[in-house]
Amino acid sequence: MARTIRIEAFGGPEVLQLADLPVPDPAAGQVRLRQHAIGVNFIDVYHRTGLYPNTLPLNLGMEAAGEVIAVGEGVTHLKEGDRVAYASGPLGSYTEERTMPAQNVCRLPDGISYETGAAMMLKGLTVQYLLKKCKPVEGLHAGDYVLFHAGAGGVGLIACQWARHLGLRLIATAGSEEKCRLALENGAAYAINYRTEDFVARVKDITGGQGVKVVYDSIGKDTWEGSLDCLQPFGLMVTFGNASGPVPPFAPAVLAAKGSLYVTRQTLFAHTTSRERTQAMADDLFEVVTSGAVKIHIDQRFALADAADAHRALEARKTTGSTILLP
């Protein structure tokens, strides 16, 4: 039996319940893991509330790090005792032990701790595909401006550092002066407090009126219109989250009027459809972390039993960096 966080109804943090659940032996293509640290992400909130619908009852979580304690038939890239980390389905990482498909479970380098592994996989792989695969039609080059909303969050702080490593001039937005300072300390070229400044006007000022090549937006409804107005002609709007609510329907003609813009709605899991692709992305992430180019900030730690408190802090935007649960 393993202590596990599950929900039996969609709703607020209060629906998170701690239960003792059996852990099956691994079938073909599966591994059983003993988890040492668990990542908390905003997508977990979407699953809890039902914005991203699933069948109930539902075990939450998509990210963790731990050790392999049993291997099913046909699994060749992992063995018992391996240190591993993952950011993948099926849901259910909020637990002490679990059995899951081995395809997207990656060996964790010895130089990366379990806590760091759990804090960085989903967020770091997200930044990897955003900066490396979501590029405007004219490409991204050193010196180019990009706008990244929520620059002091877990994804944002990794993006600030990785963008600096690539030579990009990243403009971060955040909701306080403290968070703006944090983004700047982690590689953002500029930081905008959206509570006290008009981020569209500030972006135009920073870029000499040209706008940015790409906007990376996980906020959704509240920043949608402004984000489009920050783009230069043929710029790319990358929407990858809905922290303020889903983007409302819009007429494609709006994109023409604002400069023949491109829009894409991305998810990590479209990029990790094979073990080979997942491992290549993970290797890229591991390299920038072990080299020191990107440091993972774990600013909040909660006990597994206190997962509801972690969700409350996340939704209230009281967190910076990454948040983890400890079994």
User: Quick one: what percent of the chain has pLDDT higher than 90?
Assistant: 94
Same domain? 162 vs 235: yes
Q: 306 in a domain, yes or no?
A: yes
Same domain? 115 vs 153: no
Question: Which tokens go with 275?
Answer: 């073990």
The domain spanning residue 260 has which CATH number?
3.40.50.720
Task: Share the mean pLDDT of the chain.
Answer: 96
Q: What's the confidence (pLDDT) of residue 320?
A: 85
Q: What's the confidence (pLDDT) of residue 83?
A: 98
- DSSP assignment of 175-232: SSHHHHHHHHHTT-SEEEETTTS-HHHHHHHHTTT--EEEEEESS-TTTHHHHHHTEE
H or E element that contains 135: none
Residue ranges for the chain with pLDDT beneath 50: none
Q: 320 in a domain, yes or no?
A: yes
Q: 185 in a domain, yes or no?
A: yes
Same domain? 313 vs 231: no
The domain spanning residue 308 has which CATH number?
3.90.180.10
Same domain? 18 vs 41: yes
Q: Are 25 and 70 in contact (CB under 8 A)?
A: yes
Same domain? 286 vs 259: no
Q: What's the confidence (pLDDT) of residue 317?
A: 84
Q: What's the confidence (pLDDT) of residue 133?
A: 96
Same domain? 196 vs 285: no
Q: Quote the number of domains for the chain.
A: 2
> In this predicted model, what pLDDT tens digit does every residue of 58-108 receive, in sequence order?
999 999 999 999 999 999 999 999 999 999 989 999 999 999 999 999 999
Q: What residues contact 245, with CB distance under 8 A and at least 6 apart?
A: 220, 221, 222
Q: What's the confidence (pLDDT) of residue 246?
A: 87
Same domain? 72 vs 168: no
Q: What's the confidence (pLDDT) of residue 242?
A: 86
Q: What's the confidence (pLDDT) of residue 296?
A: 96
Same domain? 152 vs 236: yes
User: Whole domain around residue 139: which residue ranges?
Assistant: 135-265
Distances (CA, A) of 287 to 127, 162, 166, 188, 234: 14, 11, 13, 20, 32
Q: What's the confidence (pLDDT) of residue 243?
A: 83
Same domain? 141 vs 261: yes
Same domain? 146 vs 229: yes
Q: Residue 234, Cβ neighbours under 10 Å: how many?
A: 13
Q: 222 in a domain, yes or no?
A: yes
Same domain? 225 vs 259: yes
Given 218, 237, 265, the domain boundary residue is 265
CA angle 118/266/245 to nearest 5° reads 85
Q: What's the confidence (pLDDT) of residue 89?
A: 87
Name residue, tokens 């909130």: 45
Given 265, 287, 309, the domain boundary residue is 265
Q: What's the confidence (pLDDT) of residue 174?
A: 96
Q: What's the confidence (pLDDT) of residue 90?
A: 95
pTM for the model stands at 0.91
